[in-house]
Amino acid sequence: MPKDPKSVLTTTLSHTLTNRATLSRLRTLSLPPPHATDFSSNDFLSLATSPLLRRSLLAELAAHPTHPLGSGGSRLLDGNSPYAETLEATIAHYHSAPCGLLFNSGFDANTGFFACVPQPGDVVVYDEYIHASVHEGMRSSRASACLMFAHNSLASFRAVLEGVEARQGRSVFVAVESLYSMDGDLAPLAELVAIADEVLDGGALFTVDEAHATGVVGAGGRGLVSLLGLEERVFARLHTFGKALACNGAIILTDATTRQYLINYARPLIYTTSLSFPSLAAITASYTLLRSPHAAALQSHLHTLTAHLHRRLATLPPAPQTLTLPPVRPTPILALFTPQPRSLAAHLQTRGIVARPIVFPTVPKGTERVRICVHAGNTVEDVEALVEAVREWVVGQARGSKI
Ligand SMILES: Cc1ncc(COP(=O)(O)O)c(C=O)c1O
């Protein structure tokens, strides 16, 4: 009797999962503990729980009582609407870009863009820490080469560009993030652009993923490109709505021809149902809030709190084997480097604080950390409690106790 194919597959899958667990790399879904203080999520402005955003969303829905709720299909068939087109134009205008194209997620946007826009013979040069979605796009790309440079290293960037053979008609794309999700550092964008101008005849086509910077960096949360005034020097920007904006979806800001090209060739846009009306209304409500003094106050509190956290962390007893503090930066993502991130995160959890251990392969070996995200909804007391809990853990580790 031949073996049941389902049981053969189940055995294989189980083996793989067991091996993964043995390597301490098993991923599982978990629910956030109730009433815990959030130092983990990407909800940087705490808009996910903002009564103001909720009211604004409900008002936006009420203002369009007959708008179909479902989008009705792919954007290319029945899923387009004047509402979606107006929203794209409004967001593009907010970020001083010629136009924008909505995607259901940042993952779809990056995958679609990098799979179709670089042409045969083109080269993509990318930062070592670029997001998995860009890698996913590059895997199906027709570019003749995808070349990595060391994270945020100007010397490495220059060396990689100098190795790219100039060819008639060849474009060089550069893929960077503005605010890196695991270290909280900003790309040296102006310097990268200057190097590309120097090394390549005609410069490079920069694509900047502003996923973590959206709502957080620059005036009105417009992002790093806007902060540096580099709108004219960047070929495409990605803003995602799932982090500080507490929604879902993303937009690629670029020129009209590239937008039209994406509409024709970006498979994650073409072969999927477009964002539903409630999703579009939520994005509208979030952008309306971003323009308001309320959002400016949230951003200001977030930055003040982050600076306070750095100052308080600096008062911890030195513990070189146990904990390395992050460099002081004006961004709400901080890495507490430690060889025992799970132990530190578990201790924080006993004190009612959620912060996640981040280990290989998400970050390079030797850079394991607990990732701390500060939120506009956190208070000075929350920061004090966090630092106190870290102090307890550091002292406990020094005494060799298992707290
Ligand atoms: C840098 C970066 N780009 C893109 C994405 C994907 O965005 P989304 O969550 O909208 O799919 C993420 C999400 O984690 C991200 O961190």
Interval between CA 107 and ligand 1 midpoint (Å): 6
pLDDT value of position 77: 97
CA dist 314 and 150 (Å) reads: 28
Interval between CA 318 and ligand 1 midpoint (Å): 35
Whether residue 175 has its Cβ less than 6 Å from ligand 1? no
Structure confidence at residue 399 as a pLDDT band (50, 70, 90): confident
Mean pLDDT of 289-313: 96
Whether residue 131 has its Cβ less than 6 Å from ligand 1? yes
pLDDT value of position 33: 82
Render pLDDT for 192-240 as a digit per residue (tens, 0 to 9). 999 999 999 989 999 999 999 999 999 999 999 999 999 999 999 999 9
Structure confidence at residue 350 as a pLDDT band (50, 70, 90): very high
Whether residue 188 has its Cβ less than 6 Å from ligand 1? no
pLDDT value of position 32: 81
Counted residue by residue, the chain has a size of 403
Q: What percent of the chain has pLDDT over 70?
A: 99
Structure confidence at residue 70 as a pLDDT band (50, 70, 90): very high
The upper half-sphere exposure of residue 328, i.e. CA atoms within 13 Å in the direction of its Cβ, equals: 11
Mean pLDDT of 168-179: 95
Candidates 133, 212, 373: which one to mutate for ligand 1, based on the most atoms within 8 Å of Cβ? 133
CA dist 331 and 44 (Å) reads: 10
User: What number does CATH give the domain 30-50+293-399?
Assistant: 3.90.1150.10
Q: Is the pLDDT of residue 241 over 70?
A: yes
CA dist 63 and 31 (Å) reads: 35
- Closest among 110, 139, 121, 300 to 219, alpha carbons compared: 300
Q: Is the pLDDT of residue 403 over 60?
A: no
Mean pLDDT of 279-288: 98
pLDDT value of position 30: 87
Domain ranges of the chain: 30-50+293-399, 67-290
Mean pLDDT of 315-330: 92
CA dist 387 and 309 (Å) reads: 8
**172-177 and 123-127 strand pairing:** parallel
Mean pLDDT of the chain: 96
Interval between CA 65 and ligand 1 midpoint (Å): 32
The CATH number corresponding to 67-290 among 3.40.640.10, 3.30.70.20, 3.60.130.10, 3.40.630.40 equals: 3.40.640.10
Mean pLDDT of 57-81: 97
Mean pLDDT of 158-178: 94
Whether residue 110 has its Cβ less than 6 Å from ligand 1? yes
Mean pLDDT of 57-85: 97
Whether residue 240 has its Cβ less than 6 Å from ligand 1? yes
Interval between CA 6 and ligand 1 midpoint (Å): 34
Whether residue 207 has its Cβ less than 6 Å from ligand 1? no
Order across the sheet with 333-337: list the strands.
333-337, 369-373, 356-358
Render pLDDT for 90-141 as a digit per residue (tens, 0 to 9). 999 999 999 999 999 999 999 999 999 999 999 999 999 999 999 999 999 9
Interval between CA 240 and ligand 1 midpoint (Å): 7
Whether residue 284 has its Cβ less than 6 Å from ligand 1? no
Render pLDDT for 365-394 as a digit per residue (tens, 0 to 9). 999 999 999 999 999 999 999 999 999 999
pLDDT value of position 401: 59
Candidates 41, 240, 243: which one to mutate for ligand 1, based on the most atoms within 8 Å of Cβ? 240
Interval between CA 209 and ligand 1 midpoint (Å): 8
Interval between CA 47 and ligand 1 midpoint (Å): 18
CB under 8 Å to 155, separation ≥6 — which residues? none
